[in-house]
Amino acid sequence: MAPQLLLDTHVLVRWLVEPKRLSRDKIRALRSAIRRGEPLGLSAITLIESALLFGEGSTRLRVPLPELFAALDSSAGFHVVPIDVEIAAEVAVLEAMPCGILRTESSWQPPAFTACGW
């Protein structure tokens, strides 16, 4: 089953570490997707962004980064979506990217699910 939601870095981290910081609507949508057996999508860049934001020496995350990655690695509930050349080219011409990446693979376009809206 293909993911129907694409989580940005902040939603992903909050979902795994501090779900109370998410809105009721986001929690409801995430739980609903899980009940339907849908994997939660996350962009490949989210892994890199997490490593940069919460890596060695960071105190921004309440759990060690290896634990966060272990939760992603061991869970069949997540699907990492690669970034393709077409998407990279689109990003290159954007003046600003509000709320993170809104699409990954050009052929795969679920609704973006970001910390600032969806």
Decide if 1 is inside a domain: no
Q: Is residue 118 part of a domain?
A: no
Domain count, the chain: 1
Mean pLDDT estimate for the chain: 77
Query: What pLDDT, on a 0 to 100 scale, did the predictor assign at position 66?
Result: 86
pLDDT of residue 117: 43
Residue 31 burial by Cβ neighbours in a 10 Å radius (0-12, 13-18, 19+): exposed
Residue 90 resides in a domain: yes
Residue-number span of the structural domain to which 82 is assigned: 6-113
For 25-83, the pLDDT digits (tens) are: 899 999 999 999 999 988 888 898 888 888 777 777 778 888 888 888 766 789 988 88
Q: Is residue 88 assigned to a domain?
A: yes
- Assess if residue 50 is contained within a domain: yes
